[in-house]
Each structure stands twice: as C-alpha cells, then as structure tokens.
C-alpha cells in the first residue's frame, strides 16, 4: 500500500483526485499546478478505481466528491479505511456541510470542505489533512466538540435530520435530486419496496404527511450543488 505517513513541512504533498466531473477535476488540477508544495499524481472518476490507483501512486491525500452512481459514502468510506487504515481522505462536495460533514467525519473522512469555498481554503485543508489534522470549518469543529463533550445544542437543519439514519439521509438526498423510486432503488442497490419503507420512516420522523410534502421538504432543506 503506497499511503505515506504524515507529511513534514518541507515535503511536497502527493494528491489523488476522485470526482465524477471531469471538467471540475481538470480545472482544479490546472490551479494546483501553480502550487509549489502540492502535486496532483492522478485524477480518477470512479470509487472503483481508488484501490488500484493507490497501488500505482505514492498518495498523501485523496480529495473526493460524493456524486457517483451506486455509491454510499457512509458505507464505502469505513470499508476503505479498514482496507487502508493510514489513508487520509478529504471530502470536497457541493452538499450542505451542516448536514453531511459530521456524518462523513464519523465514517472516517479526515476533512470536509465545500466546493463553494475559496481556493486558498482548499489548499489549507489539504495541508492540514496531510499533516494528520482534521480539516473542517470552525462551525463543524464546534459541533463535533459539543457532541463529544455532551453539550450538543439544537441546530436548525440538522436538528431534525439527525434523527435519520445514514441510509434514510441518502434516500432524502436522492429525492432532492429529483430521483424516482426506481432510480433510488437502482442507485442504492435495494428494492422499490425498501425505498418506499425508507420514505415512510422519513415522513414519520420528520412529521411529514404526504409524498408531495416530502419532495418539497427535500428540495428546500437538502443543499446540493455539483
């Protein structure tokens, strides 16, 4: 396994990018070329390529998106961490950090940063993760600390969504994307009846009465940008 130990101050950081959007990764790679202490060693478009790519390259940090076909990050990240316990993974996503960041950190990600962040903030997050530090926004850091110390306070969006399991949140996310029951079933590799069961559980937990209200709620609360 070619995953390096924590990177020292004077070493260049080897970066592997995993994102389904080729134009995005090409643009980001072009920007990073001008950064002295970070070098992109590879760009891949599918999580299935990840283990093979790690075997080919000396990788310090993996920067990955979340929008892939048939991909559940809440299951895939823990599995990947078991296979590569020294790996450092920074999630770069358009999903709302208030909803997703804590869950992904608990799943094993080393950091979370929004695609709407400034380029310098991304570079800072990469450097922190490379040194073995946790890279999240100050807001998420406070939430993580409060949860750890038992002082968690109620929070707008996440107050209700925290009642959902990871799989239920994934269903709600796909609803927000406009996916049909059949599409959700295919994306999650489950049956249509199972999707319907998840929907009923979500409605019950969120005190939502109808499927139309569920769709409207998902579109309003789940922040997604590619």
Helices and strands (DSSP H and E) totals, the chain = 11, 5
Is residue 1 very low, low, confident or very high in pLDDT (cuts 50, 70, 90)?
very low
Query: Cα(166)–Cα(77) distance, rounded to whole angstroms?
Result: 13
What are the sequence ranges of the domains in the chain? 13-147, 156-221
Q: Within 13 Å and on the Cβ side, how many CA atoms surround 171?
A: 26
Instruction: Determine which of 14-28, 91-105, 112-126 has the lowest per-residue pLDDT on average.
Output: 91-105
Is the pLDDT assigned to residue 225 strictly greater than 60? no
Return the CATH architecture of domain 156-221.
Orthogonal Bundle (1.10)
- For 148-174, the pLDDT digits (tens) are 555 555 455 555 788 899 999 999 989
Is the pLDDT assigned to residue 226 strictly greater than 70? no
Give the residue with greater pLDDT, 13 vs 55: 13
* Six-digit token string for 209: 């009465």
- What fold, for 13-147? Rossmann fold (3.40.50)
Against a cut of 0.95, is the pTM above it?
Answer: no
């Amino acid at each position: 396994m070619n995953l390096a130990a924590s990177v020292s101050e004077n070493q260049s950081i080897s970066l592997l990018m995993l994102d389904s959007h080729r134009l995005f990764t090409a643009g980001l790679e072009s920007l990073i070329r001008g950064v002295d202490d970070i070098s992109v060693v590879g760009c891949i478009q599918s999580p299935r390529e990840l283990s093979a790519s790690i075997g080919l390259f000396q990788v310090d940090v993996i920067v990955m998106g979340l929008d892939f076909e048939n991909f559940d990050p809440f299951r895939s990240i823990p599995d990947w961490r078991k296979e590569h316990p020294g790996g450092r993974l920074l999630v770069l996503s358009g999903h709302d950090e208030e909803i997703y960041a804590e869950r992904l950190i608990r799943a094993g990600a080393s950091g979370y940063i929004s695609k709407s962040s400034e380029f310098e903030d991304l570079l800072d997050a990469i450097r922190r993760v490379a040194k073995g530090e946790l890279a999240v926004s100050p807001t998420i850091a406070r939430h993580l600390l409060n949860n750890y110390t038992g002082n968690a306070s109620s929070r707008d969006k996440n107050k209700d969504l925290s009642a959902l399991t990871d799989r239920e949140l994934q269903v709600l996310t796909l609803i927000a994307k406009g996916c049909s029951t059949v599409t959700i079933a295919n994306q999650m590799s489950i049956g249509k009846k199972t999707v319907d069961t998840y929907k009923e559980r979500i409605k019950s937990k969120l005190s939502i009465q109808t499927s139309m209200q569920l769709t409207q709620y998902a579109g309003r609360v789940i922040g997604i940008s590619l």
